[in-house]
Amino acid sequence: MSDTIKITIDGRTISGQRGQTIMVAADAAGIYIPRLCAHKDLTPYGGCRLCTVMVNGRAQSACTQPITEGMVVEHDTAQLRDLRAGLIEMLFVEGNHYCPFCEKSGNCELQAMAYRFGVMAPRYGYMFPKRDIDMSHPDVYLDQNRCILCARCARASREIDGKGIFDFVGRGPHRHISPGEAGLGATNLAATDAAAGICPVGSLMKKRIGFAIPIGQREYDHRPIGTDVDRGRA
Partner 1 sequence: MGDDLQKTIENVCSRYGKVRGRMMDVVRDVHAAVGSLSPAATELIARAMGVRTVEVESVVSFYAFFSDRPKGKFVIRLCNDVIDQLSGVHRVAQAFREELGIDFGQTTADGLFTLEWTPCIGMCDQAPAALVNEKVMTWLSSDQAREIIGTLRRTGDIDKVRHTLGSGNNSHRLVRSMVSNNIRRRGPVVFADLPAGQALHKAISMSPVEVVKQIKNSRLRGRGGAGFPAGMKWEFTRASEGAEKYVLCNADEGEPGTFKDRVILTECPDLLFEGMAIAGYAIGARHGILYLRGEYEYLRAFLESVLEARRQKKLLGQGILGKDGFDFDVRIQMGAGAYVCGEESALISSCEGRRGDPKNRPPFPAQRGYLGFPTSINNVETFCAAARVLDEGAAWFAEIGTKESAGTKLFSISGDCQAPGVYELPFGVTLRELIDAAGGSDVVAAQVGGPSGQMVGRADFERKLSYEDLATGGAVMVFGPGRDLLEIVRGMTEFFVDESCGYCTPCRVGNRLLLQGVNKVLAGHAEEKDLADLEALGQMVKTASRCGLGQTSPNPVLTTLRSFRPEYQRRLGQFPAGRQPTFDLHKAVLDAEAIAGRPSIHHNA
What residues make contact with partner 1 under the rule CB under 8 A?
44-50, 52, 59, 61, 64-66, 83, 86-87, 90-91, 93-94, 123-125, 127, 148-149, 164-175, 178-182
- Min dist. Cβ of residue 3 to partner 1 (A): 18
- Min dist. Cβ of residue 217 to partner 1 (A): 31
The rounded distance, in Å, linking the Cα atoms of 14 and 69 is: 11
- Min dist. Cβ of residue 30 to partner 1 (A): 25
* DSSP 3-state of 74: strand
**Is the Cβ of residue 95 or residue 226 nearer to partner 1 in the bound state?**
95
**Is the Cβ of residue 50 or residue 73 nearer to partner 1 in the bound state?**
50
Sign of the torsion formed by the C-alpha atoms of 109, 23, 44 and 198:
negative
- Min dist. Cβ of residue 115 to partner 1 (A): 18
Residue 216 buriedness (CB in 10 A; 0-12 / 13-18 / 19+): exposed
**Is the Cβ of residue 66 or residue 185 nearer to partner 1 in the bound state?**
66
The rounded distance, in Å, linking the Cα atoms of 3 and 44 is: 21
Which amino acid is present at 55? V
**Is the Cβ of residue 98 or residue 168 nearer to partner 1 in the bound state?**
168
HEC string of 114-152 equals HHHCCCCCCCCCCCCCCCCEECCCCCEEEEHHHCCCCCH
**Is the Cβ of residue 106 or residue 111 nearer to partner 1 in the bound state?**
111
Beta-bridge partner residues of 131: none
- Min dist. Cβ of residue 192 to partner 1 (A): 20
